[in-house]
Amino acid sequence: MALESVHAGFPSAAQPDFAGGFSFDEQVTAHPNTTYIVTVAGDSMQGAGIWDGDLLVVDRSLEARHGDVVVAMLDGELTVKRLWLHGGSPVLHAENPAYPDFQPEPLEDLTVWGVVTGSFHPQEGRRLV
């Protein structure tokens, strides 16, 4: 891990020293046995800074709370949305005004699959294969 932060303003002389090894898993996963990486498909969460092709870090051991970005299973299909709880009823909120909120009907099967704890957004032209 680098000893010095990299400034996004004016250039700074970066320290070439490192403080030992770096484990990506230790830095982004509190619960490695229940954490998954999923790829985003679509643009419904752009307002939350989540773009098509991004990688999301999803922890299945966390209990979803109002306002969390979650991966939910709706009638057998996974989707990423913001979870709003209104009077105990879940609402899946898209962070793109082109998409409506979704409140499941009583017979529809909605399960929160996991809570998004982080994301990786590749820089333009540098998509992972």
- Alpha-carbon gap, residue 34 to 29, rounded angstroms: 9
Confirm whether 29 is domain-assigned.
no
- Alpha-carbon gap, residue 74 to 128, rounded angstroms: 28
Please report, for residues 36, 50, 74, 78, the alpha-carbon distance to residue 25 in angstroms, rounded to integers and kept in the order given.
11, 21, 29, 24
Amino acid at the residue 46: Q
* 80-119: pLDDT as tens digits: 999 999 887 899 999 999 999 998 887 778 899 999 999 9
* CATH number for the domain that contains residue 70: 2.10.109.10
Check residues 71 and 15 and name the one with the higher pLDDT: 71
- The one catalytic residue in 5, 12, 44, 119 is 44
Task: Give the residue numbers spanning the domain of 43.
Answer: 34-120
Confirm whether 107 is domain-assigned.
yes
Confirm whether 105 is domain-assigned.
yes
- The one catalytic residue in 5, 23, 81, 89 is 81
Confirm whether 126 is domain-assigned.
no
Confirm whether 127 is domain-assigned.
no
Provide the domain count of the chain: 1
Can 81 be counted among the known catalytic residues?
yes
Q: State the pTM of this model.
A: 0.78
Confirm whether 16 is domain-assigned.
no
